[in-house]
A and B are shown apart, each in its own frame.
Chain A
Amino acid sequence: MILAIAKRELRGLFYSPLAWSLIAVVQLTLAWLFMIQLEEYLQFQSELITLDNAPGITDLIVAPLIDSAAVLLLLITPLLSMRLISEELRSHTFGFLLSAPVSMSQIVLCKYLALLILFSIIWLLTALMPLSLLAGGNIDLGRTAAGLLGLWLLAAAFAAIGLFFSSLTRQPAVAAVSSYGLLLFLWIINLSGSSDRSSGLFDWLSLSAHFRRLTSGLVNSSYLLFYLLLAIGFLALTIKHLDGYRTQG
């Protein structure tokens, strides 16, 4: 089956220390942030009770945690995605995949699937932290779910962008740098000129603007479509580019 490609990819990721160390670093960092936020919340809990309309546990712990997780995902995506295709182009294994009875889209989708599975593992481990609060308090489950959904969609879009840049070059480092470039740019694009009229477009293009709305509990199908379109678009570009590689040499 063609899933063999995804299986081998995951094997490659997990046989090297890269995937493990990245998962460990993400977990450690998030756990540390989670702990600090929890501590602060406990410190100010007595004062919060006296306030009307006080921010709850979800505002003060869960939302910032998911926000930090998104930034961390942005930072690790290029490291995980850079090798996916460029390494195959460099070590001549791409011709081997092409000589097998699989199509270009199957190859690309399998690679994407492998990365998505790895991200889902990281996502699941991240989700366990806010969910652990259920043991001692009440969190806004709807808002947490919206935030986690946003995080997963964001990861799916990140992965497609990283995969695309990996298909452009034989040098994994170049692929990583270019994915950092685009990811960071799309992350901060809405920071520019909030007053002028073009900001509407920038806001719409921004990866973070849609994500912030999702973490605030606002689920709109257009946000979901934005991430899905982004992922599908970059996957299509990857397939198109690699087909061009076959025709142009």
Chain B
Amino acid sequence: MKPLLAIQHLSRRFAGQLAVNDISFELHAGEVLGFLGPNGAGKSTTMRMISGGLAPTGGKIEINGIDLLEYPLKAKSSLGYLPENPPLYPELTVDEYLRFAGELRKIPKSDLARAVESVKNQCGLSDSGKRLIANLSKGYQQRVGIAQAIIHDPAVVILDEPTNGLDPNQIQEIRSLVRELGKTRGIILCTHILPEVQAACSRVMILHQGQLVFSDDLINLSRTQRNKLLLSLRNPPELQALNELPGVTRASATGPTRFRLEMHEQADATVIAQQVSANGWQLEEMRWEHEDLQQIFTRLTTSEVAA
């Protein structure tokens, strides 16, 4: 299947410094891609380049098979973009603004009213059409921002921190909206909120100091790393005794009654459980240690990237 968005060796230099360094990835229909990274990692710079607001120093961007740099107008017509700060005109009403966004995205006049109506329903703005954007709360302004990004039914939608400034209920709504949109389109969700990625995305990429340091499907993320066992014992033995259990390569203490056992690939956890109870160590808790997104993120973004 042809990707909706293909990025090849994308770089961007600001005053001699590489803000984005040789990034390549693809986005397919039906995918919600979580774009993670600490502040200043180059997320927004990448998004601005994909949206056509910033020219890359090097590399190639294809939207729906059309080269953005060669045919910007044609490529941008299948793109919706919500920047970090929602691009709103405070002096317009919601209806006027959305109509303007629709006209700008070349929606035919005959379809415009219908498009505005349907996008208002999708984003929970049905009752706010006549209100001035200046008078809307931050959450509603954010919704208007999302509405302008999807009004023309684009194949690729880029949302840069869409839940910024929303309350928990609104965040839930936006997440389910993102999942809904992601069924047929390709979506890039830029954020530094990890639970958001876990709640809405199918794939995650981590950007650090301008480089792509991690990229995997979220499903794989929960499957891997089944080689560390965490134990909590009420009556713990010497560390040496744990080391001698079958399948254990290395045991270490993480607290007075807590231990981490590093296991062989094919090791059987039930054998450990039997041994522990047979030795009278009084098992309180036993679970696989998953390296979750939080840990991966911390591990990858606190270290310096090798040049």
B193 adjacent to chain A (CB < 8 Å): no
Q: In the complex, identify which listed stretch (A71-79, A90-98, A125-133, A192-200) lies at the interface while the others stay far away.
A: A90-98
Task: Mark the stretch among A3-11, A47-55, A144-152, A177-185 that contacts chain B.
Answer: A3-11
A103 at the interface (CB under 8 A from B): yes
Let me know if A102 and B104 touch, CB within 8 A. Answer: yes
Given contacts A98-B53, A101-B74, A247-B55, contact A8 B100 (CB under 8 A): yes
- Nearest-neighbour CB distance to chain A for B5, whole angstroms, equals 14
- B54 A12 Cβ-Cβ under 8 A: no
Q: Smallest CB–CB gap between A152 and chain B, Å?
A: 28
| Contact status B89-A8, CB under 8 Å | yes
Complex formed: what's the CA distance from A95 to B52 in Å? Answer: 8
Question: Which chain B residues lie closer than 8 Å to A98 at the CB level?
Answer: 51-53
Given that A95-B51, A95-B53, A96-B81 are contacting pairs, would A101 and B92 also be in contact in the complex, using a CB cutoff of 8 Å?
Answer: no
Residue A99 CB within 8 A of the other chain? yes
Interface residues of B in 101-135 (CB under 8 A from A): 101, 103-106
Count chain A residues whose beta carbon lies closer than 8 angstroms to a beta carbon of B: 26
A93 to B88, CA, bound (A): 6
Q: Are the C-beta atoms of A8 and B81 separated by less than 8 Å? A: no
Residue of B79, B85, B104, B148 touching A92 (CB-CB under 8 A): B85
Residues of A contacting B243 with CB < 8 Å?
A: none
Residue from A5, A91, A101, A249 in contact with B87 in the complex, judged by beta carbons closer than 8 Å: A91
Q: With CB as the reference atom, state the residue of chain A lying closest to B80.
A: A99
User: B-facing mask of A215-244, CB < 8 A → 1, else 0?
Assistant: 000000000000000000000000000000
From A2, A95, A101, A247, B48 is in contact (CB under 8 Å) with: A95
What DSSP secondary structure best describes chain A's contact surface? Answer: helix
Q: Mark B271-302, 1 if CB is under 8 A from A, else 0.
A: 00000000000000000000000000000000
Query: Which residues of A in the span 58-115 have a Cβ within 8 Å of any Cβ on B?
Result: 91-103
With CB as the reference atom, state the residue of chain A lying closest to B149.
A99
- Among the listed A15, A99, A103, which residue makes an inter-chain contact with B81, where contact means beta carbons less than 8 Å apart? A99
Contacts of A4 in B (CB 8 A): 100, 103-104
Chain A residues positioned under 8 Å from B237 (CB to CB): none
- Which residue on A lies nearest to B50, using beta carbons? A99
How far is the CB of B150 from the nearest CB of chain A, in Å?
13
Q: Judge whether A15 and B76 touch: CB under 8 Å.
A: no
Residues of chain B with a CB closer than 8 A to A246's CB: 53-55
The contact size tier of chain B is: 20 to 34
Q: CB distance B104 to A100 under 8 Å?
A: yes
B196 at the binding interface (Cβ < 8 Å): no
CB neighbors of A among B75-104 (8 A): 76-77, 79-81, 83-89, 91-92, 96, 100-101, 103-104
- B78 to chain A: closest residue by CB: A101
Chain B residues in 8 Å Cβ range of A97 = 104
Complex-state Cα separation, A91 to B96, whole angstroms: 18
Is residue A201 within 8 Å, beta carbon to beta carbon, of the partner chain?
A: no
In whole Å, how far is A20's beta carbon from the nearest beta carbon of chain B?
Answer: 14
Complex Cα gap A126–B154 (Å)? 47
Chain A residues near B54: list those with CB within 8 A. 246-247, 249
Task: Kindly state the separation between the CA atoms of A12 and B285 in the bound complex, as whole angstroms.
Answer: 65
Chain B CB within 8 A of A1 CB? yes
Minimum C-beta distance from B59 to chain A (A): 14
Kindly state whether residue B305 has any CB partner on chain A within 8 Å.
no
Q: Considering the chains assembled together, what is the distance between the CA atoms of A103 and B83 in angstroms?
A: 19
A contact residues around B106 at 8 Å (CB): 1, 101
Give CA–CA (A1, B104) in the complex, Å: 6
Q: A4-B100, A92-B87 are in contact. List 6 more A-B contacts (CB 8 A).
A: A15-B92, A92-B83, A96-B81, A96-B101, A96-B148, A249-B14
List residues of chain A with CB under 8 Å of any chain B CB.
1-2, 4-5, 7-8, 11-12, 15-16, 91-103, 246-247, 249
For the complex of A and B, the 3 pairs showing the least CB-CB separation, nearest first, are A96-B87, A4-B103, A99-B81
Q: List 24 A-B contacts (CB under 8 A).
A: A1-B106, A2-B104, A4-B103, A4-B104, A7-B100, A11-B96, A15-B92, A91-B85, A92-B84, A93-B88, A94-B53, A95-B48, A95-B81, A96-B148, A99-B51, A100-B101, A100-B104, A100-B105, A101-B76, A101-B77, A103-B72, A103-B73, A246-B55, A249-B14
